[in-house]
Amino acid sequence: MNTLSVLQQWSRERAALSATLAPRAVAIALDKRRSISGIRWRGELVVTAAEALAGSDEVLLASERGEQRATLVACDLATDVAVLRIEGGDAAAGPVISEASAPTAAALEAGAGVVIVGRTRRGPVVGFGTVRAAGPAWRSRRGGEIAQRLEFEAALDGRFEGAVVADLSAAVQAMLVPGPRGSLLGIPAPTIERIVAAVEQHGYLPRPYLGLRLQPLWLDEATRGRWGRTGRSIAAVAGVEPGSPAEAAALAPGDLLEAIDGVAIDSVEGLVAQLAPSDPGRVLELRLRRGGAPQTVKVTVGEWRAPRR
Amino acid sequence: MAGAPALTDLAVGDGATITDMVNPTVQRHSARLTPREREVLALVAAGISNKGIARALQVSPNTVKFHIAALLEKLDAATRAGAVVAALRRGELSL
């Protein structure tokens, strides 16, 4: 009777876990030498790190099905999620993606173990790590609403950008993206799912648009006191695009933006954060200060369209 | 926008003008974006690919890359998302 030592079992389970997740991971060739990873999410849709694509819209993708072309469907810099569609592929063909690796909305806890599976054109690459920090939902500076703050500790390189981050039961928890100062962050599965679901519904990612240009202004203490504001700065309207929802609502340069739907705004980022989750068609109530006097205007959020020429 | 008043000329009430309140960090930036750079950045912000931008503006993809490199430099940004945030804060990009 051969009995496995604890270490042998540990090693076999790690290899089995990696093998379960490998069909989810794809390699995305950026050029002849460099590649990043991506996650087969559902059907022909693959997600990867938006920033790393650097404006590419047609990439060569390698998976256990071999090499295929994929085209960009949506690129959301706010959450760093890009969605690609595999061209001419049969969704049913190729390696079976294990049910165990279905994305989960269950939150990770600090200290939990994770497995990170990416791919190069030569095959899967695997790293094991730990959840270094797990915090509440947050907004990126660009206004992206991200379901959970996730930071990992693991020894990884650039090939893992966009890789699968799974818990030790093989459920996909997040996509790996680089953070500030060399940190490793995770974009949680529910955030990715929200974007993929919007792409499936519309065929693209609709973007809210107001047509406002803003600039931050510092408020002196006396003005803050008079206006009953706590923030040191306020967002001033610097311009209104012709034909935009902001123009329809008669917003004008010099208007100072105080609140949206009752949420105090004190910076340009504040508006970005409020606008980001708005669907085109939603009506926002803007509280302004115009010529020193408070006013309220309603603006119907538009949808961003490429300028015609 | 010929004939439109400059933002700094507009009174914002209580006797203060916007010039009095402009964020000094905004004024310090000197490298203004060109109209073409602003067009490119609006498309970058919307997640349009380099080729898509090239098609929309009827220029070559290399020209788009050139503009994006200039944008990152002028906006002191390492990433596209960083450039978008910086331009929004400077009032050079509309929301």
How many domains are contained in chain B? Answer: 1
Asked if residue A205 has pLDDT above 90, the reply is: no
pLDDT at A278: 66
Beta-strand relationship, A212-218 and A208-209: unpaired
Q: How far apart are CA A121 and CA A18, in angstroms?
A: 17
Contacting residues of A for B64, CB less than 8 Å apart: 55
Q: Which CATH architecture has domain A208-303?
A: Roll (2.30)
| Per-residue pLDDT tens over the stretch B32-71 | 889 899 999 999 988 888 998 999 999 999 999 999 999 9
Determine contact: A94 vs chain B, CB below 8 A: no
In a domain, B94, yes or no: no
* Residue A53 clears pLDDT 80, i.e. is over it: yes
Residues in chain A closer than 8 A to B84 (CB atoms): 77, 142
Return the residue in A76, A84, A142 with the most chain B beta carbons within 10 A, the one to mutate for interface testing: A142
- Residue B95 forms part of a structural domain: no
pLDDT of A18 > 90? The answer is yes
A contacts of B52 (beta carbons < 8 Å): 57
The percentage of chain B sitting over the pLDDT mark of 70, rounded to a whole number, equals 68
Nearest Cβ partner of B49 from A57, A218, A226?
A: A57
Residue B29 has pLDDT above 80, yes or no: no
The complex scores an ipTM of 0.81
pLDDT tens digits, one per residue of A143-167? 778 889 999 999 999 999 999 999 9
- Domain CATH number, residue B74: 1.10.10.10
| Fold assignment, A6-202 | Thrombin, subunit H (2.40.10)
Integer Cα distance of A181 and A85 in angstroms: 32
Q: Which residue of A has its CA nearest to B84?
A: A142
- Tell me how close the Cα of B17 comes to any Cα of chain A, in angstroms: 9
A228 touches chain B (CB under 8 A): no
Q: pTM for this structure?
A: 0.83
Q: What is the mean pLDDT of chain A?
A: 89
DSSP per-residue codes, chain A: -----HHHHHHHHHHHHHHHHGGGEEEEESSSS-EEEEEEEETTEEEEEHHHHTT--EEEEEETTEEEEEEEEEEETTTTEEEEEETT--TTSSSPPPGGG----PPP-TT-EEEEEEEETTEEEEEEEEEEEEE--EE-TT--EESSEEEEE----GGGTT-EEEETT--EEEEEEE-GGG-EEEEEHHHHHHHHHHHHHHSS---EE--EEEEEEEPPHHHHHHHT--SSEEEEEEEE-TTSHHHHTT--TT-EEEEETTEE--SHHHHHHHHTTPPTT-EEEEEEEETTEEEEEEEE-EE--PPP-
Whether B62 is covered by a domain: the verdict is yes
What CA–CA distance (Å, rounded) separates A185 from A175?
8
For residue B31, give how far its alpha carbon lies from the nearest alpha carbon of chain A (Å).
16
Domain span at residue B65 reads 7-89
Q: Which A positions 28-67 lie with beta carbon below 8 A of chain B?
A: 50-51, 53-58
Tell me if B78 is assigned to some domain.
yes
For residue A207, the chain B residues in CB contact (below 8 A) are 46-47
User: Taking residues A174-186, what's their average pLDDT?
Assistant: 93
Question: Contacts of residue A258 in chain B, CB cutoff 8 Å?
Answer: none
